[in-house]
Amino acid sequence: MQTIDKLISAPWILPVEPQGCVLEDHALAIHEGRILDLLPTEEAQARYRPETHRRLERHALIPGLVNAHTHSPMTLLRGLADDLPLMDWLQNHIWPAEGRFVGEGFVHDGTLLAAAEMIRGGTTCFNDMYFFPETTGQVAARAGLRAVLGLIVIDFPSAWAGDAEEYITKGLDIHDRYKGDALLSFCFAPHAPYTVGDDPLRRLATLAQELEIPVHMHVHETAHEVEEAVARFGMRPLERLARLGLVGPSLLGVHMTQLEAAEIRYLAETGAHVVHCPESNLKLASGFCPVQALLEAGVNVALGTDGSASNNDLDLLGEMRTAALLAKGVSGDAAALPAHTALRMATLNGARALGLGEITGSLEPGKSADITAVDLGEPETLPLYDPASHLVYAAARHQVSDVWVAGRPLLRDRQLTTLDLPDLRRRVADWQRRIAAAD
């Protein structure tokens, strides 16, 4: 008998790799934050002597969900302005509120709120793009979440930096100070082709190669963006990024609602990743990402929620469902984006896009114990013929019971273990009062 830290057993385990696999009455053996073994529960009890054994009787275990694109502090602007055209929404509500309130305190409390929501929804890893990324990293560390900090670059001044040069310098400084951290990693996050000029983008292409970190950027979000780029630069944004050396396996193109067949082939050939944010695209009427065509071409497609001002939640279970349903509607094919593929997009595909494919995104021996348990015994998911079907088409966040990152419990029986909910409520109420008074 081998002594280990922890055994977690459940009626169903969906490890995501191999694709489509559903294991019945299996257990995960966990030691020193890593998955040591995945085997039938009976065998596990004969082979291992765990310090704790968490027996889940009605649950499915899945890899912790990976939110491949968000702006977590924007939780504080959730529901501030809805049902408006993009430019009215941005120019008359979101940008004025950000201009007035964004600072370290806003980012701290907004990320805290996002962390509570993400953990309660089964998310264990998020890729962020916002000002004051160091503060986001500190809050993520306190919450116990795995975070990819987008080192934001934009040509416009903010409370965080004055110009592209200063954003890059500050980002590099954060990268150098935190690069050894077990749960933090980095990507460059130039906001979008229309807000960052050629020189900083060229510099980021070089730096990303030197530091071996991804580049995370909104690309082809709307038809308007593409038309404007053609008028201004004489080419579509993706072509401009390609000429600047940014399109390749390190690129995460977020949204990509406007893609021609040749561009889809080009993304596949270069190994670029797409982050699909269906609910944000629907809410802002941005267009439809051709997900099924991308998957068929061999492009790695991950899932993101985008910020909570345009979604309005950080719910990846919901995002999987929307992605699966929308792909069928857009392609006219009910077989498009089946449940197991949606689950893979929300886990392993996200991890791979972020360069974390060897660390998280699937339940395999050697990987970090980043795990989400979903109670499928609730009336909403009965009867149960296929757990993958329920996870994508029927389950909701209230059924997420337990969440672990690197073997550490962040949610136990629906209770947050690392965050103080009454304190968080007080902080958010204070922001609500100030922001509502100014809007």
Q: Which is nearer to Zn ion, 306 or 402 (CB)?
A: 306
Secondary structure (3-state) at 417: coil
How many residues at the interface with Zn ion, by CB under 5 A? 1
Q: Are strands 23-31 and 34-40 parallel, antiparallel or unpaired?
A: antiparallel
Residues 6+ apart with CB under 8 A from 337: 291, 292, 295, 323, 324, 327, 328
The least CB distance from residue 184 to Zn ion, in Å, is 20
Q: Which token pair is 386? A: 């296929």
* Separation of alpha carbons 176 and 174, rounded Å: 5
What distance in Å separates the CA atoms of residue 427 and residue 168, rounded to the nearest whole number? 31
CB of 54 to Zn ion, least distance (A): 36
Of the pair 306, 375, the CB lying nearest Zn ion is at 306
Q: Is the Cβ of residue 79 or residue 332 nearer to Zn ion in the bound state?
A: 79
User: Residues near 329 by Cβ (< 8 Å), separated by ≥ 6?
Assistant: none
Nearest approach, Cβ of residue 150 and Zn ion (Å): 10
What track of x and - describes contact with Zn ion for positions 390 through 429 (by CB under 5 A)?
----------------------------------------
* Rg, the chain, Cα only: 21
- Determine, following the binding rule CB under 5 A, whether residue 221 of this chain makes contact with Zn ion: no
**Nearer to Zn ion (CB atom), residue 134 or residue 306:** 306
* Window 326 to 355, contacts with Zn ion (CB under 5 A): none
Asked if 128 is part of the footprint of Zn ion (rule: CB under 5 A), the reply reads no
- Tell me whether residue 68 or residue 295 sits nearer to Zn ion (CB atom): 68
Q: How far is the CB of 71 from Zn ion (least distance, A)?
A: 6
CB of 43 to Zn ion, least distance (A): 45
Considering the complex, state which of residue 144 and residue 278 has its C-beta at the smaller distance from Zn ion. 278
CB of 283 to Zn ion, least distance (A): 12
306 near Zn ion (CB under 5 A): yes
DSSP states of 13-80 = E--SSSTT--EEEEEEEEETTEEEEEEEHHHHHHHEEEEEEEE-SSEEEEEPEEEEEE-GGGGGGTTS
Options 9-17, 95-103, 201-209, 306-314: segment touching Zn ion (CB under 5 A): 306-314
Residue 379, judged by CB atoms within 10 A of its CB (0-12, 13-18, 19+), counts as exposed
Measured CA to CA, the distance from residue 226 to residue 331 in angstroms comes to: 22
Per-position DSSP letters for 212-261, written without gaps between them: T--EEEEES-SHHHHHHHHHHHSS-HHHHHHHTT--STTEEEEE-----H
Residue with tokens 């001002």: 309
Beta carbon nearer to Zn ion, 289 or 395: 289
Taking CB atoms, the residue at the shortest distance from Zn ion is 306
SS3 160: coil
Considering only 169-177, 189-197, 305-313, 425-433, which stretch makes contact with Zn ion by CB under 5 A?
Answer: 305-313
- Nearer CB in complex with Zn ion: 318/387: 318
Instruction: Report the Cα 7 to chain-centroid distance in Å.
Output: 27
Q: Which lies closer to Zn ion via its Cβ, residue 117 or residue 306?
A: 306
Pick the piece of the chain touching Zn ion (CB under 5 A) from 1-9, 76-84, 174-182, 302-310: 302-310
Least Cβ distance, residue 115 to Zn ion (angstroms): 18
CB of residue 120 to Zn ion, shortest distance in Å: 22
φ/ψ (deg, to 5) at 354? -90, 5
User: Shortest approach of Zn ion to residue 69 CB, angstroms?
Assistant: 6
The nearest distance, CB 254 to Zn ion, in angstroms, is 6
Nearer to Zn ion, 37 or 306 (CB): 306
Hey, which residues does 402 pair with through a beta bridge?
A: 373
Q: Which residues are near Zn ion by CB under 5 A?
A: 306
